[in-house]
Amino acid sequence: MMKQFSYRHTKEAELMSNMEAVSQNPSELTEQELFSFAEFNAEEVERTGYSNYSYWRSTVQAFLKNRGAVALLALLVLLLLFTFIQPYLPGQYDPNMIINDDSGMQYRNIPPGDMFLLGTNSIGQDLWSRIWAGTRTSLFIGLSVALAEALIGITVGVIWGYVRKADFILTEVYNIIDNIPNTIILILISYILKPSVKTLIFAMCLTGWIQMARFVRNQILIIRDRDYNVASRCLGTPTWKIMIKNLLPYLVSVIMLRMALTIPAAIGNEVFITYIGLGLPVDIPSLGNLINEGRALITSPALRYQLVYPTIILSFVTISFYIIGNAFSDAADPKNHT
Amino acid sequence: MLKYLGKRIGRSLLTLVIILTIVFCLLRLMPIEGYFPNYEKMTPQQIQVGLQEMGLTDPLPVQIVRFFGELLHGDLGTSRIYRANVPVSEVLSDKVPISIKLGVLSMIVSLCVGIPMGALMARYKFRLFDKLGTVFIVCIQAIPAAVYYLYIQLYGTQLLNVGLLFDVHNPKYWILPVISMSLYNIAFYGMWLRRYMVDESNKDYVKLAKAKGISESGVMFRHIFRNAFVPLAQYVPTAFLNTVIGSIYIESLYSIPGMGGLLVTVIKKHDNAMVQGIVLLYACVGVLGLLLGDLLMVLLDPRISLGKKEGDR
């Protein structure tokens, strides 16, 4: 503020003396020169205290410096695209079709080879297309859960942290929900409702949002009474504007981290629910289903490929999200911007 | 302090009541077909009689009051299907010891490995050991447990030359389940201890200690470690009490007759009394763990006082 003021002061003085000089010696500057537009000059501009720092650009720049994370992100995007393209490629089997040979016998447990890229499972379905369909389902579950949790969690969390009256009630609600083990809610909900993708997402969000809200609330409590927020309040900024403009940008880094970690956790939860027998029906392939099918064959080494391939994809996806999330949250932290 | 404790325990009890009520109501939402194995063949009268015998026809509040009344007399009810007509408490007391034994062993392993790992990672920050440790932690945290449990079972059993299924009397069979159960906690303790120690090592008293001429390792273990361990100590009681619950994955993978898979089994069998009993156990463990964790923090760190934290909890 001070800097800008003094700068304007000197600039005005300069201008005045210039004008005086011009009036004394009119031939020095023509009319056109006087009223031409100034050109953008980075150095000049910085003197006014203005900086062309953009938060998102710096974040992206910082993220791009992390080569490993960028490579993983590229691979993950390719993988995601491929799960959508794969069904339209030539020569693909339907993931639920049981494939018979000429004599009407099913192709059971065919090892990976020319005809079936990754082999077939115990009832003669093509593992390759099942894996991609499963990856699609699992990624969809993971992303939806993360998105829904973030939406609900952030909204509730900001209100919880910022509005003092809400704090007491929400803290009590948290104490109760937090003490009910997640497993119980997951199991009960997926049992009471019919197993489907929507049910699973619902059950996972039911327990997850409160953790996100709690986390956001704690962060908000730390910054809610910082000077710049007090100033905003004194100047009469509406509460919703303070929340969106002052508080939330501060939390981008930590929220992104939470979201990125929710995705692998949700995918893992899907595997867990399927494992205890309450997951998706087998005609909706998911990574959990595939791993569960593969697990049944664990005793015969020749059929182990049915377990190995889904777990490789699963591990790749979860590790990528974990690493990308960490890298992005580091990049989103203004302390790491140059 | 005593006043705070009294308040806190009162609130915990209230929480327990609310949790049980919620679960109780949820259980009543379950489809009634599940209560009878041969639902299709039964006449409506038979179903009505069956439901009445279980006390399911009464209005919900009446059922809840009756349940809590029995609970106050120490009666958890009797199992209906899982082990017909055996009191729930008896079923549980058969199962709990195995889970506790397994859990305590795994807790000892994870503390004995995780804590030194975290401390060494902080000591040799950004060097090879730290990097290896970070890779380990990332893998364990990111990959769903089901995957590495399976591979441990698959290759571990070959390596140790043991069968896939558990044998209580052969100590060799305890190795794999205990290792599988410990892995996540090792990563957990390692990661947090490293982080707390790194945070702690930037503080002034550490600089002073170094200025006094104490060796690097001396500062690390005599000063930093003791302060950095306090926040972790909060989780130790919860971890200990959680051993009662067991691990669903591991106990079913190795067919260990513990608590692990019990909850899922009884929910599927519509054995309401069993579900309520187990939920009560779970909730008690959670609430008690938090309370003991806070108390332990106060004991370890005289700067923390519980009274002040009241509004925050």
Q: What is the pLDDT of residues A52-75, one digit of tens each?
A: 778 888 888 888 988 889 999 999
Specify the pLDDT at position B107.
92
Adjacent-strand bridge partners of A106: A100
Judge whether residue A120 has pLDDT over 50: yes
- Nearest chain A residue to B140 by CA distance is A319
ipTM (interface pTM):
0.77
**What's the whole-number mean pLDDT along residues A231-237?**
90
CA–CA distance, B110 with A59 (Å, rounded to integer): 37
Residues A197/A284, Cβ–Cβ less than 8 Å: yes
Nearest CB to A181 within list B143, B267, B286: B286
Calculate how close chain A gets to B290, using CA atoms only, in Å. 9
Specify the pLDDT at position A326.
87
Nearest of B137, B99, B130, B109 to residue B285 by alpha carbon? B99
Specify the pLDDT at position A257.
84
Interface test with B, best of A191, A192, A210, A297 (most B CBs within 10 A): A191
Structure token digits, residue B224: 């930093």
Calculate how close chain B gets to A289, using CA atoms only, in Å. 12
DSSP chain B: -HHHHHHHHHHHHHHHHHHHHHHHHHHHTS-GGGG-TTGGG--HHHHHHHHHHTT-SS-HHHHHHHHHHHHHTT---B-SSTTTT-BHHHHHHHHHHHHHHHHHHHHHHHHHHHHHHHHHHHHTTTSHHHHHHHHHHHHHHHS-HHHHHHHHHHHHHHHHT--SS--TT-GGGGHHHHHHHHHHHHHHHHHHHHHHHHHHTTSHHHHHHHHTT--HHHIIIIIIHHHHHHHHHTHHHHHHHHTTT--HHHHHHTT--SSTTHHHHHHHTT-HHHHHHHHHHHHHHHHHHHHHHHHHHHHH-TT--HHHHTTT-
Specify the pLDDT at position A7.
59
Specify the pLDDT at position A250.
82
Q: Exposed, middle or buried by CB within 10 Å (0-12, 13-18, 19+), for A294?
A: buried
Partners of B164 on chain A (C-beta within 8 Å) are 298-299
**What's the whole-number mean pLDDT along residues A173-193?**
77
B263 interfaces chain A, CB cutoff of 8 Å? yes
Adjacent-strand bridge partners of B78: B87
- Inter-chain residue contact B252 with A179, CB threshold 8 Å: no
Amino acid at A156: V
CA–CA distance, B100 with B19 (Å, rounded to integer): 24
Specify the pLDDT at position A71.
93
Specify the pLDDT at position A22.
60
Judge whether residue A6 has pLDDT over 60: no
CA–CA distance, A297 with A256 (Å, rounded to integer): 38
Residues A255/A150, Cβ–Cβ less than 8 Å: yes
Calculate how close chain A gets to B215, using CA atoms only, in Å. 32
Calculate how close chain B gets to A178, using CA atoms only, in Å. 9
| DSSP annotation of A133 | H
Structure token digits, residue B110: 């994870």
Q: Exposed, middle or buried by CB within 10 Å (0-12, 13-18, 19+), for A202?
A: middle
CA–CA distance, A144 with A140 (Å, rounded to integer): 6
Q: Please enumerate in sequence order all residues whose Cβ is within 8 A of that of B220, keeping only pairs 6 or more positions apart, or say none.
A: B119, B122, B123, B197, B201
Nearest of A144, A160, A138, A270 to residue A211 by alpha carbon? A160
pLDDT single digits (tens) A287-321:
888 888 888 777 777 777 788 888 888 899 989 98
- Across chain A, mean pLDDT equals 81
Higher pLDDT, B105 or A30: B105
Residue A185 — very low, low, confident or very high, per pLDDT cuts 50/70/90?
Answer: confident
B300 interfaces chain A, CB cutoff of 8 Å? no
- Nearest chain B residue to A177 by CA distance is B19
Sign for the pseudo-dihedral over CA of B274, B275, B277, B282: positive
Residues B261/B248, Cβ–Cβ less than 8 Å: yes
pLDDT single digits (tens) A71-89:
999 999 999 898 888 888 7
Q: Whole-structure pTM over 0.80, yes or no?
A: no
Specify the pLDDT at position B169.
79
Partners of B252 on chain A (C-beta within 8 Å) are 275-276
Specify the pLDDT at position B70.
80
Least confident among A175-184, A216-225, B60-69: A175-184
CA–CA distance, B70 with B26 (Å, rounded to integer): 19
Calculate how close chain A gets to B227, using CA atoms only, in Å. 23
Judge whether residue A163 has pLDDT over 50: yes
Structure token digits, residue B98: 């195995």
B288 interfaces chain A, CB cutoff of 8 Å? no
Nearest of A25, A274, A280, A224 to residue B147 by alpha carbon? A274
Give the A-side interface with B, CB within 8 Å.
171, 175-176, 178-181, 183-184, 187-188, 191-192, 264, 267-268, 271-272, 275-278, 291, 295, 298-299, 304, 307, 311, 314-315, 318-319, 321-323
Partners of A178 on chain B (C-beta within 8 Å) are 286
Residue B239 burial (CB count, 10 A): 19
% pLDDT > 90, chain A: 9
Calculate how close chain B gets to A55, using CA atoms only, in Å. 27
Look up tokens 């001429």; give the residue.
B213
- Inter-chain residue contact A322 with B138, CB threshold 8 Å: yes
Interface test with A, best of B267, B290, B294 (most A CBs within 10 A): B267
Specify the pLDDT at position A284.
84
CA–CA distance, A320 with A261 (Å, rounded to integer): 10
Specify the pLDDT at position B306.
63
Please list the ranges in chain B whose pLDDT falls under 50: 309-313
Specify the pLDDT at position A24.
63
